[in-house]
Amino acid sequence: MFVTLGYLGSHYASAQCNFQARSLTEATPQEIATAATQYTCTQFNAAGETRVRLSRRVNDSDLLELGLHPENICRDQPLYLVIVQGNFTSKLERRGKEIKYKYVSYVFDLTTGNPISWATSQNGGAFRKILDDATLPDDPVMVPPELLTPDARIEQSLAKTREAESNHIQRPVCGSNLPAPTRAP
């Protein structure tokens, strides 16, 4: 469950494509949101305006729900979540098929000013819970439905694992002379 610590009301951001990673530890929520829209501009072609839907600090309890593993993120690493909305097409699409997205989320490491994780959603359904917006439609299924049929035993096992992990979230303390552990998204 997400508890919003800081929330910028939905606003539109005019992002010039001039993202440069820099420390955001002293940045205002507006400056972090601007960095996210600028980063979006470097990764996606955007038609129209980019709207910041959510911008707030990430708590340790949020990490698993965001798909991040606490043991791979230093305890003192300040994180910030930004979700942007717009009409985006990936600049990196290699399959020859253009996929359009309406939402992109980023988890920024405020120390480096770079996202450590990002996710896309074609219609917003993936972010329905975190945005507390029941009107967001489901995203299209990209795999055959027969592959998505859940096995009750697997689901039960995964639920127990998630519960155990969420009760024992421990982020490591990383020394300044040691590289922070990372995990590819």
The residue extents of the domains of the chain are 11-167
- Considering the entire predicted model, what is its pTM? 0.71
Lowest-confidence region among 70-74, 99-103, 145-149: 145-149
Average pLDDT over residues 85-96: 81
The more confident residue out of 15 and 167 is: 167
Q: Are 80 and 107 in contact (CB under 8 A)?
A: yes
Mean pLDDT of the chain: 78
Where does the pLDDT of residue 26 fall: very low under 50, low under 70, confident under 90, or very high at 90 and above? very high
Question: Reduced to 3 states, what is the DSSP secondary structure of residue 60?
Answer: helix
Greatest CA separation for the chain: 49
Q: Are 99 and 109 in contact (CB under 8 A)?
A: no
SS3 labels along 39-76:
HHHHHEEECCCEEEEEEEECCHHHCCCCCCCHHHCCCC
Where does the pLDDT of residue 2 fall: very low under 50, low under 70, confident under 90, or very high at 90 and above? very low
